[in-house]
Amino acid sequence: MNYREITNLALENEFLNSQGLTPAQTSGSCLGVRYKEILPVGAGRGFLFNPKVFFGLTIWQTQANEVFLKFDHHNQEIKKQYLQKLHEIKPGDFEILIGRITIKIAV
């Protein structure tokens, strides 16, 4: 589950009482820190965490893992393609490309 979904469920079921403006971000941060604290001692083996802010139970891992692996594989392939093109581009062409990207971002 995404940390926002977890926060919404906690608020709806009154497990969490927040008076801040960004309860989901606070919860996501706390969940991430807590997971990292318990990971070294092995107490978190019932939970899994994806750096893209997904939390879940390890029992869900079989189903979720297939999806994450597909996304991860796709992202790695795209990254390889971009890096290959980056290594092939001439410095002057690279500067032109960066200029075009900067203009598009600014617009």
Q: What is the DSSP string of 9-59?
A: HHHHTTS----SS-HHHHHHHHHHHHHHHHTTTTTTTTEEEETTTEEEEGG
* Per-residue model confidence (pLDDT) at position 34: 72
Mean predicted confidence (pLDDT) in 52-67: 62
Q: Residue 64 pLDDT > 70, yes or no? A: no
Least confident window among 6-20, 50-64, 87-101: 50-64
Q: Residue 1 pLDDT > 80, yes or no? A: no
Global pTM reads 0.42
